[in-house]
Amino acid sequence: MNFVSIIMGSKSDYEIMKNCANTLEEFGVQYELIISSAHRSPQRTKDYIKAAEEKGSKVFIAAAGMAAHLAGALAATTTKPVIGVPMKGGAMDGMDAMLSTVQMPSGMPVATVALGKAGAINAAYLAMQILAISDSDLAVKMTEDRIVKEHKVVNDSKEIEVII
């Protein structure tokens, strides 16, 4: 069973990260979602990664804010791809989380996506693109989604465009 693991540092991250889970659901991709913190529950985080890998998790998505070390902690523990979603909030409104998540040392990558809702959705898309390398049905769905997006741009434009 191939699936995606979503780990959030806090319940306060869920409002944004449910967009990630919803996107995976739209494409019929299985996922697990838990709360576990690099700082508040380090052993639980390690234990989950090991258990998830044994069950078939292929990509890990980590969402955390402030001194965001969750994605890095995952990268330290697994060689599966890790996608980091920096959460807004705190005194720096996510700039701290973004820099903490993106600035990994060489050889320990975290694919860092945008802050906020767009990042949560893009984390799901990136995870699916990784899975789609070896899942032709999912690859077709990803291609179809691009066509839908392109049609929407054209249709939106038609409603308001001015061309001379």
Q: Write out the residues near ligand RP5 by the rule CB under 6 A.
A: 9-10, 12-13, 37, 64-66, 87, 89
Of residues 6 and 66, the one with the C-beta less far from ligand RP5 = 66
Q: 71 near 92, Cβ under 8 Å?
A: no
Of residues 29 and 100, the one with the C-beta less far from ligand RP5 = 100
Closest separation in Å from C-beta 89 to ligand RP5: 6
Closest separation in Å from C-beta 83 to ligand RP5: 15
Of residues 16 and 24, the one with the C-beta less far from ligand RP5 = 16
Closest separation in Å from C-beta 72 to ligand RP5: 12
Cα–Cα distance between 4 and 18 in angstroms, integer?
A: 14
Q: Looking at the DSSP assignment, which residues form a beta bridge with residue 84?
A: 62, 112
Of residues 74 and 131, the one with the C-beta less far from ligand RP5 = 74
CA distances from 120 to 13, 59, 85, 111, 162 (A): 10, 14, 6, 12, 34
27: left (phi over 0), alpha (psi -120 to 50) or beta: alpha
Closest separation in Å from C-beta 133 to ligand RP5: 29
